[in-house]
Structure 1
Amino acid sequence: MSLAPATLKTPGKVSSGSKIEWVKLSSVVLPLTVPVSDAKVFTGRQKPMTEVVFLFTEIRTADGAEGIGFSYSKRAGGPGQFAHAREIAAELLGEDANDIQRLWTKLTWAGASVGRSGLATQAIASMDIALWDLKAKRANLPLAKLLGAHRDSVRCYNTSGGFLHTPLEQVLENADATVANGIGGIKIKVGHPDSAVDLSRVAAVHERLNGSVPLMVDANQQWDRATAQRMGRILEEYNLAWIEEPLDAYDAEGHAALAASLDTPIATGEMLASVAEHWELIRHKAADIIQPDAPRIGGITQFLKLAALADHNGLDLAPHFAMEIHLHLAAAYPREPWVEHFDWLEPLFNERLETSHGRMHIPDRPGLGITLTDQARAWTVATAEFGGPHNSHY
């Protein structure tokens, strides 16, 4: 990422309508109905996940246009994202909401001492996404159309029905329901300390799908290189759409060796927190499918930079989580992508995304096309406002 001094010049006159007058931050705790466990729990590295903490940003300009964006954290980090956002959000006041890339740089410099990845850029992501939502709404276009969509729908697959805590029979029932709901692929979790458990679950789901639906597996970084190589060879017979996160997220060389030796595509990237970290995967040829998460890498501005690099290097795309954001970004990717279907976030939004014939359809609503439910407001544990009639923050 370049932060050359030329990008910091004083901007020109701000048009009266697009001037940012109000910013609101909200920390929202979404409880999960059932504690969730993947391989990281079974290897003892994490406890079951019981909630997801969201950082929502709402922005309003002088002409009354509004945008909303969000970031999130699982298990830990939510209060930290909110705290960092609260320290820098006032930097947006008085700025032209159209100058999104410049504002990303301004916000990064406002918190430069904590770096350009991780929690700091995740806090900025919520504001960046809100600015893109606002810009699309001002144009009266879905965000995908503002960016330049290649398609009106995107292949989608489900993850939430295949976690390791879920009994196999329930996984099979979930797979049936997923396909019936028009979702086009099934991903199940692997990485259990007993590889026989993984293989029996994969075999059972593969048989249930009868080869008619793409199947993916996700080890959540819990294999070492030898195990990943051995399991990858055994899994070749199932013609998987991909093996996800077989190794530690930062092991670019290990992923590259695995990708070169297996026919099954390797997918990874969701845990990385900057474009620079993803570039290490790309330059090492460590993935066939890259899986960035816009809220984790700094928002839509950074996602677009990464997408250009990924496309230039011939990679397929399957963004992680947050389908409400990633549907639009995947629709604007030149190569046919995938988007991940999670129903966890549905209590937060009044709207629903439509799926049919294996694809998720871009809504015709302007921007991201989402509004917060009363329940999301009720789950709010902290807020901070800047500008507006109260001109306060706390």
Structure 2
Amino acid sequence: MSSDRITSVRLSSVLLPLPRPISDAKVFTGRQRPMTEVALLFAAIGTEQGLAGLGFGYSKRAGGPGQYAHAAEIAPELIGEDPSDIAKLWTKLMWAGASVGRGGLAAQAIAPLDIALWDLKAKRAGLPLAKLIGAHRDSVRCYDTSGGFLHAPVEEVLTNATASLESGIGGIKIKVGHPDAGVDLARVTAVREHLGDDVALMVDANQQWDRTSARRMCRELDRFGLTWIEEPLDAHDAEGHAALARAFDTPIATGEMLTSVGEHRELIRAGAADVLQPDAPRIGGITPFLRLATLADLHHLKLAPHYAMEIHLHLAATYPSEGWVEHFDWLEPLFNERMTISDGRMLVPDRPGLGLTTSDKTEEWTTDSIEVR
């Protein structure tokens, strides 16, 4: 039996300002306002033996204060527990807040705590997280998203794409879902011509099309040799996504907006995704992510985790078939370390755990914190 016990949990609410307002299709169709900041929830877990684990989750637009409040309520459940019993502790945390559900904000509040426990366990073993779990590869193909938003003129998107490829990134994703389908097709045409046929190109509609529009657009987009078409429909429309996956050659990717393994299971049952895009901070952490990855592999699906490359690089490296990790530079100011990218791939760090330490900026942007002992 391990003699180590959890003695402290520190939670920090962090508000990360973005350099410029970000707009995707949800802004152009009036559903949301431009995004100007990202709310993050950091968890630092300490033990009797002096070990420390770091985890984080996030919320875009509303939800950050709610995640922080829920995590503060359930964090005392960890005090005195063996930090190696991660699956047991995930279940304990989930049941502590079960009256508000097993997905959504309740799951997202658990994620930083769960991720911190995995970070701590890998540090105890002296291994990168991917190696602790069991890696299939030491690097993962990566594509860039942050340079292809709809608010950027197409000339800027082309410039950003060139810069990404020159930095070693292997693929480019751009946003679509503009109210004018002609604008979408013109932008995709320009980017494909700029990149050539050999560079991986993905598009992301951010759930903006109805079923009729999605069929029309997927038919048009089939000719561009895309790596995938992402979220052409509402994230919960498993039946609609499945129909598109059956009808068109271009793979359909979805799953980033779902907040539980159960919701992803419905996608898989329906055959709604050729490429599954789970997000560990959204579904409750690494523990449920690994359960979902096993299910996805049994159904022969590709895996391309959404956002949070600092976490998902490790997880994508453990998936049996080759997938993709999404390069987003938004979170880089929060950490002292940087991901290494070369020849279209992101390399798994050789540092123990996630291999991350928080920067001075994280402390500067902290709006609230609490320590539980």
Specify the TM-score bucket, using the shorter chain as the normaliser: over 0.9
Q: Quote the residue 2:265 is aligned against.
A: 279
Output aligned runs, 1:20-31, within 5 Å. 20-31=6-17
Question: What SS does the aligned partner of 2:346 have?
Answer: strand
Q: CA deviation at 1:288?
A: 0.1
Pick from 362, 378, 385 the counterpart of residue 371 of structure 2.
Answer: 385
Pick from 94, 97, 102 the counterpart of residue 116 of structure 1.
Answer: 102
Q: Quote the residue 1:219 is aligned against.
A: 205
**Pair 1:90-2:76 in alignment:** yes
Q: Quote the residue 2:297 is aligned against.
A: 311
**Pair 1:140-2:123 in alignment:** no
Residue 82 of structure 1 aligns with an amino acid whose one-letter code is Y
Pick from 284, 309, 332 the counterpart of residue 323 of structure 1.
Answer: 309
Output aligned runs, 1:1-394, within 5 Å. 15-16=2-3, 18-387=4-373
Residue 95 of structure 1 aligns with an amino acid whose one-letter code is E
Percent identity over the alignment?
A: 71
- CA separation in 1, counterparts of 2:86 and 2:70? 19
Question: What SS does the aligned partner of 1:85 have?
Answer: helix
Residue 189 of structure 1 aligns with an amino acid whose one-letter code is K
- CA separation in 2, counterparts of 1:147 and 1:351? 21
Structure 2 residue ranges without an equivalent (≥5): none
Question: What SS does the aligned partner of 1:64 have?
Answer: coil
Q: CA deviation at 1:357?
A: 0.4
- CA separation in 2, counterparts of 1:368 and 1:304? 16
Structure 1 residue ranges without an equivalent (≥5): 1-12, 388-394
Question: What SS does the aligned partner of 1:301 have?
Answer: helix
- TM-score, normalisation: structure 2: 1.00
Deviation digits for residues 179-199 of structure 1 (CA, Å, limit 9, x no counterpart): 000000000000000000000
- CA separation in 1, counterparts of 2:226 and 2:199? 10
CA RMSD of aligned residues (A): 0.5
- TM-score, normalisation: structure 1: 0.94
- CA separation in 1, counterparts of 2:186 and 2:253? 22
Q: CA deviation at 1:210?
A: 1.0
Question: What SS does the aligned partner of 2:215 have?
Answer: helix
Q: CA deviation at 1:212?
A: 2.2
Residue 269 of structure 1 aligns with an amino acid whose one-letter code is G
- CA separation in 2, counterparts of 1:213 and 1:321? 21
Question: What SS does the aligned partner of 2:41 have?
Answer: strand
Q: CA deviation at 1:158?
A: 0.3
Q: CA deviation at 1:170?
A: 0.4
Q: When the two structures are aligned, how many residues end up with a matched partner? A: 373
- CA separation in 2, counterparts of 1:284 and 1:109? 29
Question: What SS does the aligned partner of 2:207 have?
Answer: coil
- CA separation in 2, counterparts of 1:210 and 1:300? 37
Question: What SS does the aligned partner of 1:138 have?
Answer: helix
Residue 249 of structure 2 aligns with an amino acid whose one-letter code is D
Q: CA deviation at 1:211?
A: 1.1
